Structure 1
Amino acid sequence: MTTNRAPNRLLDEFARLVTDAAGAAQGVRREMETAVRAQGERLLNQLDVVQREEFDAVRDMAMKARAENEALKKRVSELEAKLAGSQGAE
């Protein structure tokens, strides 16, 4: 039975080694992801890229301004037509 215990102990040690290696690999992966994310954020900050929230806010303001502009165009056209009609009646 002593021969049976030695391979089991060897397998247990090997399994522990593989488990430790897998844990270390996950740690390295997390560190790499963090480093890549930080480098990406630094690059975007250097490029002066607009954040999504700011872009959405400006887009909404532009859409509102465009709608107001269209309404004013329509009002001016109506007033011009009214003015032309009153001048023709004189």
Structure 2
Amino acid sequence: MTNTFRVAGATNYQLVADGANYGRVGIQVVTVYPVSIFIGTAAPANDTEDFVSMTPDGTREIVVNLAAADKIYVRTGKVTDVAVRGFRETRT
């Protein structure tokens, strides 16, 4: 099953998808702020240098096939109602 979602922007990394539940995830930036996307097994420190940077003027979309142990987190550094929208496909 596939469902759509939205995630608010925050100063800390927010969980978007857990690979234990979702095998494929698409993310689209919908804020004016840069968005940091982190893929790993646990939430990173806010000052990590290991992330994918997405902006409304640059890369705005990404689709990821997740391993069961991976998770996707997003962070904007600014609080905003909606930072990203996307879809999540349930792991089969």
TM value normalised by structure 1: 0.14
Q: Which has the higher contact order (CA 8 A, sep 6+)?
A: 2
- Please identify which structure carries the higher strand content: 2
Which has more radius of gyration?
A: 1
TM value normalised by structure 2: 0.14
